[in-house]
């Protein structure tokens, strides 16, 4: 498949369809999530090779806690395993890791792993891999609003300085560019509480394939669709992103 000329700076992915992938093979849902981790590994490598600077992956949403406890624990276990097994390689490949989402209620072992991953890779410059973990966009926006309120009440911010930049600087994604492209696999066409603020001008590409089947060809296909879209950011003329 031919690599498109225009590569988006930031690609965000809703990795959907692990359960259906497993069901179609008569396997337990865990097997689907395991295959999903392989697709994560491959996508990180492909994205970096293709020159994508930021890759955000929706690994666990704040709503995923409502899944059966065994599945929640499987997902936690897979994330821990991924960090333990892949961190050294990611660091060697000059990938920076950032985590977005609510941290205060995470178990200490997982919190420590995530923090170590961020600390070890801080400043790496080939690509930033953003893992959305215990992430919900409304929750993130509420936490940012609460920070604005406390900064105002403690005199660090005056109400007239509250604007989009001041707000964005208090989101978990502070300092990152907004996603140019949001991909969702498995045919569902929803945002599911993902990057509601940040995706204001993103292009959306919905793909029928299930997440474990998402490989280099599927990524290039999504990038090609992105390349064919005209982005106007609310204006009348196309702008190159
Ligand atoms: C959606 O499939 C996928 C998830 C809820 C979790 C995605 C997690 C991973 C791929 C593994 C861990 C992540 C990292 C970064 C190592 P689903 O279970 O909702 O599928 P279904 O809709 O077919 O049931």
- Radius of gyration, CA atoms only, the chain: 18
Distance from Cα 151 to the centre of ligand 1, integer Å: 36
CA distance linking residue 164 with residue 174, whole number of Å: 12
Closest by alpha carbon to 43, among 219, 222, 209?
219
CA distance linking residue 235 with residue 110, whole number of Å: 44
16 within ligand 1 shell (Cβ under 6 A): yes
CA distance linking residue 177 with residue 119, whole number of Å: 21
Instruction: Give nearest CA residue, ligand 1 atom 18.
Output: 19
Instruction: Give the model confidence (pLDDT) of 187-218 as tens digits.
Output: 999 999 999 999 999 999 999 999 999 999 99
The number of the ligand 1 atom at minimal distance from the alpha carbon of 210 is 23
Is the separation of the CB atoms in 100 and 131 below 8 Å?
yes
Instruction: Give the model confidence (pLDDT) of 92-150 as tens digits.
Output: 999 999 999 999 889 999 999 999 999 999 999 999 999 999 999 999 999 999 999 99
Average pLDDT over residues 25-49: 98
Mutate to test the pocket of ligand 1, among 12, 13, 14, 15 (most ligand atoms within 8 A of CB): 15
Average pLDDT over residues 19-28: 98
99 within ligand 1 shell (Cβ under 6 A): no
Give the model's pLDDT for residue 236. 78
Query: What pTM was estimated for this model as a whole?
Result: 0.96
Distance from Cα 213 to the centre of ligand 1, integer Å: 12
Instruction: Give nearest CA residue, ligand 1 atom 6.
Output: 59
109 carries an active-site annotation = no
Average pLDDT over the chain, rounded to whole? 96
Instruction: Give the model confidence (pLDDT) of 146-175 as tens digits.
Output: 999 999 999 999 999 999 999 999 999 999
CA distance linking residue 32 with residue 142, whole number of Å: 33
Give the model's pLDDT for residue 141. 98
Asked if pLDDT for residue 237 goes beyond 80, the answer is no
64 carries an active-site annotation = yes
The number of the ligand 1 atom at minimal distance from the alpha carbon of 23 is 23
Is the separation of the CB atoms in 186 and 17 below 8 Å?
yes
Indicate the length of the chain as a whole number.
241
Q: What percent of the chain has pLDDT over 90?
A: 93
């Amino acid at each position: 498949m031919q690599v498109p000329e225009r590569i988006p700076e930031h690609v965000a992915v809703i990795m959907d369809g692990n359960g259906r992938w497993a069901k179609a093979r008569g396997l337990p849902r865990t097997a689907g999530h395991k295959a999903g981790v392989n697709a994560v590994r491959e996508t990180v490598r492909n994205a970096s090779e293709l020159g994508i600077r930021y890759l955000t992956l929706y690994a666990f949403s704040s709503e995923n806690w409502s899944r059966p406890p065994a599945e929640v624990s499987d997902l936690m276990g897979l994330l821990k395993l991924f960090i333990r097994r892949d961190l050294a390689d990611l660091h060697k490949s000059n990938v920076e890791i950032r985590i977005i989402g609510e941290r205060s209620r995470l178990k200490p072992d997982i919190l420590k792993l995530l923090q170590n991953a961020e600390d070890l890779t801080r400043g790496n410059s080939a690509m930033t891999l953003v893992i959305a973990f215990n992430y919900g966009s409304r929750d993130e926006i509420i936490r940012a609003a609460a920070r604005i309120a406390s900064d105002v009440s403690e005199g660090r911010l005056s109400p007239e300085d509250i604007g989009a930049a001041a707000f964005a600087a208090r989101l978990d994604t502070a300092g990152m560019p907004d996603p140019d492209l949001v991909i969702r696999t498995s045919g569902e066409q929803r945002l599911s509480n993902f990057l509601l603020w940040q995706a204001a001008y993103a292009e959306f590409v919905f793909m029928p394939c299930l997440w474990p089947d998402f490989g280099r060809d599927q990524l290039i296909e999504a990038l090609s669709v992105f390349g064919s879209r005209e982005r106007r950011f609310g204006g009348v003329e196309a702008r190159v992103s």
